[in-house]
Amino acid sequence: MHHEHRNRLLTLFKDEDKSIIYLRGGAVSRRYNTDFEYPFRQESNFLYVTGVDEPDMSAVLHCGTGEYVLVIPRRDAQFAVWMGYVLTADDYIGKYGPDKVIYDDELSDWLKKLKPETVHGLPGSEQDIRQFGLTPETGYLQDALAWCRVIKTDGEIANLKTAAAAANQAHLEVMQAVCPGTYEYEMKAVFDYHAIRHGQLHPPYSGIFASGPGSAILHHTGKHRQLDDGELFLVDAGTECHGYASDITRTYPVNGRFSPIQADLYDIVLDAQTTALNLIRPGNKMEDAHLAAAKVIVTGLRDCSLVKGDIDELMDKNVFALFFPHGLGHFLGLDTHDVGGYPKGTKRIDRPGLRFLRARRIFESAMVLTIEPGLYFIPALLEPALADKGISGFLNGKRLKELFDFGGIRIEDNIIVRDDGLENLTTVPKIRQEIELVMR
């Protein structure tokens, strides 16, 4: 898989026979000034190119010959005492498949003999490259890697499917475990247990386990609240397989039964997601799918008498953005919010509800992304709108104020764009009746 990734990257440098690409991997990080080590996770671009999941490595790719050189640290016996067996250069060749392995204390002399015309590196690598007496070029490699990573290879898709399968099971287990009186952190423990049971030790992000009003906080970090009867519970969590992420969200009632208002609002979000999913096929624009979902949301809100007025005017006035303030989705891969959403020259849309789109592209086959419309009652957005004479006339202030503590609803699936539409990797129940059946 990583050999294919390197070849794809090198096609973008085929006219630079005497240039090289220099990539530095990640290092172990520690908590402040202590010897407490955080679990190591390789830098994503380095992992994409090499597959090496060990700290303190770097790599050189020769743009002309295609040679891949892995640069390893020179470990001593003391390292072995504390950290385990020290691999030889031949061990690394067998394990990761580089054409050549050299030690980090040999790299400077090796580069001087090579005399590359240009050294392409990522932003932030300038000092590393200059220490070898070479001039860094950091204006191209980042975009080149993003271009490569947007379209997933078969090996990457296999890892993404494995991550999705584990997250599907973990979400289902949480859905079955939820009940009034439990705590958000207990539900996180259920999710983590089932993720780890599948061998997926590294979470791709910290996860959101938000009940009641907290479900309207888009990146909710607290997990200490007790779940109350009659509230909604929003779980946004994923797992990671060989660096590749899943990212799934489900929202459901703590007591296992949707109240009438919860049911009405939930179905609006589900209809919005279905509308967006039906628009995912090569050639369609991401922002068009977003606006279609937003129109379903504002139409549903009008049908529930929470907003009023002509639908087109409600869209033109950006009323939808008060309830759906984030983007429809994002690319998914080695990072949860994966690279490539805004290629060079692509500008953000300066409009409420659209300026936070994480990707503004035309769908292409083998892209992998999330589709996650949401509907939230956020006082910080609604209170100023109710005081704005230009907007308040479209809002049912009395009913909206009654929902300030309602929270929010988000439904998020992971999908692969295919030539004839999409493949949905998410199997966690999202139809209301199915959710209630699971939660009995």
Residue-range domains of the chain with CATH:
2-149 (3.40.350.10), 151-438 (3.90.230.10)
Please say if 219 is a catalytic residue: yes
pLDDT of amino acid 178: 97
pLDDT at 81 over 90: no
Residue that wins the pLDDT comparison between 81 and 63: 63
Pick the catalytic residue from 326, 338, 361, 413. 326
Please say if 372 is a catalytic residue: yes
Please say if 326 is a catalytic residue: yes
Q: How far is CA 430 from CA 65, 210, 214, 326, 414, in A?
A: 51, 17, 20, 20, 13
Pick the catalytic residue from 337, 358, 418, 432. 337
Q: Is residue 331 a contact partner of residue 368, using CB atoms and an 8 Å limit?
A: yes
pLDDT of amino acid 336: 97
If pLDDT is split at 50, 70 and 90, which confidence band does 141 have?
very high
pLDDT of amino acid 174: 98
Between CA 20 and CA 292 the distance in angstroms is: 45
Q: Could you tell me what percent of the chain has a pLDDT over 70?
A: 100
Between CA 273 and CA 413 the distance in angstroms is: 9
Please say if 434 is a catalytic residue: no
Please say if 62 is a catalytic residue: no
pLDDT tens figures, 154-168: 999 999 999 999 999
Pick the catalytic residue from 16, 236, 240, 413. 236
Pick the catalytic residue from 48, 68, 252, 376. 376
Count other C-beta atoms under 10 Å from residue 45's C-beta. 22
Amino acid at 155: G
If pLDDT is split at 50, 70 and 90, which confidence band does 270 have?
very high
Give helix then strand counts, H and E, for the chain. 16, 16
pLDDT of amino acid 430: 98
Count other C-beta atoms under 10 Å from residue 135's C-beta. 12
Q: Is residue 282 a contact partner of residue 415, using CB atoms and an 8 Å limit?
A: no
pLDDT of amino acid 398: 96
| Tokens representing residue 257 in the block | 């039964």
Between CA 254 and CA 385 the distance in angstroms is: 30
pLDDT at 15 over 90: no
Please say if 413 is a catalytic residue: no
Round the average pLDDT of the chain to a whole number and report it: 95
Please say if 240 is a catalytic residue: no
> What's the rounded mean pLDDT across residues 310-326?
96
Between CA 61 and CA 99 the distance in angstroms is: 10
Q: Could you tell me what percent of the chain has a pLDDT over 90?
A: 90
Pick the catalytic residue from 2, 6, 242, 330. 330
pLDDT at 210 over 90: yes
Pick the catalytic residue from 184, 247, 338, 413. 247
Residue 98 zone, left/alpha/beta (φ > 0; ψ -120 to 50; rest)? beta
pLDDT at 85 over 90: no
pLDDT tens figures, 253-269: 999 999 999 999 999 99
Looking up tokens 């050999």 gives 3
Looking up tokens 């279905």 gives 274
pLDDT of amino acid 196: 95
Assign 316 to helix, strand or coil: helix
Tell me the range of 7-16, 105-114, 170-179, 350-359 where mean pLDDT is highest: 170-179
Q: How far is CA 377 from CA 72, 216, 301, in A?
A: 52, 6, 12
Please say if 120 is a catalytic residue: no
Residue 82 zone, left/alpha/beta (φ > 0; ψ -120 to 50; rest)? alpha
Pick the catalytic residue from 35, 90, 350, 420. 35
**pTM for this prediction:** 0.95
Q: Which residues, 6 or more positions from 329, have their beta carbon under 8 angstroms from its beta carbon? A: 286, 358, 359, 369, 370, 371, 372, 412
**If we measure between CA atoms, which residue out of 238, 184, 187 comes closest to residue 210?**
184
> What's the rounded mean pLDDT across residues 46-50?
98
Q: Is residue 271 a contact partner of residue 300, using CB atoms and an 8 Å limit?
A: yes
Please say if 104 is a catalytic residue: no
Q: Which residues pair with 62 in a beta bridge?
A: 20
pLDDT of amino acid 378: 97
Q: Where are the beta strands (DSSP E) in 166-307?
A: 208-211, 232-237, 240-241, 244-245, 248-253
pLDDT of amino acid 77: 79
R_g over Cα of the chain: 25
Between CA 390 and CA 382 the distance in angstroms is: 13
Calculate the CA dihedral of residues 181, 185, 188, 192 and round it to 10 degrees.
Answer: -130
Pick the catalytic residue from 231, 240, 338, 412. 412
Count other C-beta atoms under 10 Å from residue 39's C-beta. 9
Count other C-beta atoms under 10 Å from residue 392's C-beta. 13
pLDDT of amino acid 221: 87
pLDDT at 298 over 90: yes
